[in-house]
Amino acid sequence: MTHAHSLAAESVVLGYGDRTIVDHLDLQIPPGEITAIVGANGCGKSTLLRALARLIAPRSGRIVLDGKALHTGHSKEIARTLGLLPQSPIAPEGIAVADLVGRGRHPHQKLLARWNDRDFQVVADALAATGTTDLADRAVDELSGGQRQRVWIAMALAQETDILLLDEPTTFLDVAHQIEVLDLLTDLNRDRGTTIVMVLHDVNLAARYADHVFAMREGQIIAEGRPGEVMTAELIREVFDLECVVIPDPVSGTPIVLPRGRHHVLPRAVEPGATSRSPSEPEIFS
């Protein structure tokens, strides 16, 4: 099992150039749980994740790991605790899958040290867990988008961090592989106690897989809590400007969001021998 670490944002202001993206935001990541950050494009969720991963420094406020400011810690020590899978990672040209996954072991190795049996085993386990063992000798740049995404997740697993941050980990994946990846992350959380924090654009996947949800709008957290508590039609309207119906997922029991489009109507039941309603009598989901 992993160690429980605390990760928090304290009144952080984040931005690029003259533009402020996140403004005086406070957040406490629940240790040992799966957290999803949701929100419309441009709301600041990926910027927040980059700050939590120490890729960008706050203009003011601070990111705190185990009570210490993240940006003052030693890089290699932090990399043994906190790992990141960015949204569009770039692999060195021509690198083989096994070599890329092996780079996840770097934070655990001393300068000029040779690989030991554990390093090889961890990489093999990461490849097996992500279904990429048969790709080990292939060049990463020859793979499909979905295959590459699973390889990057394998590298993150090989890093063996106690906190894993992922920016839209289901990008480029079809539905089956989305579920496989999220099931894999759930297993990692349940088996090792790894704290998972992921930005997701699919609110239904967030509701199904997350223990805790942060909903963002315009650089602020406007709601947080268990999916069953915060995923309401009112919240979806506020976050996404989308009218919807929220019902229990028949598979998981978690909330599922059904968007209401202008052209989606619910037909009335038609009695035997009766004619259907006229087009002037639409019946809308309520």
pLDDT tens-digit readout, 67-99: 899 888 778 788 888 999 888 788 999 999 999
Question: Which two structure tokens, joined as six digits, stand for 156?
Answer: 């993150």
**This prediction's pTM:** 0.84
Q: Is 197 helix (H, G, I), strand (E, B) or coil?
A: strand
Type of residue numbered 28: Q
Give the model's pLDDT for residue 98.
95
Buried b (16+ CB within 10 A) or exposed e, 53-87: bbebebeebbbbbeeeebeebeeeebbebbbbbbe
Tell me what pLDDT residue 58 has. 94
**pLDDT above 60 for 281:** no
**The CATH number of domain 7-242 is 3.30.565.10:** no
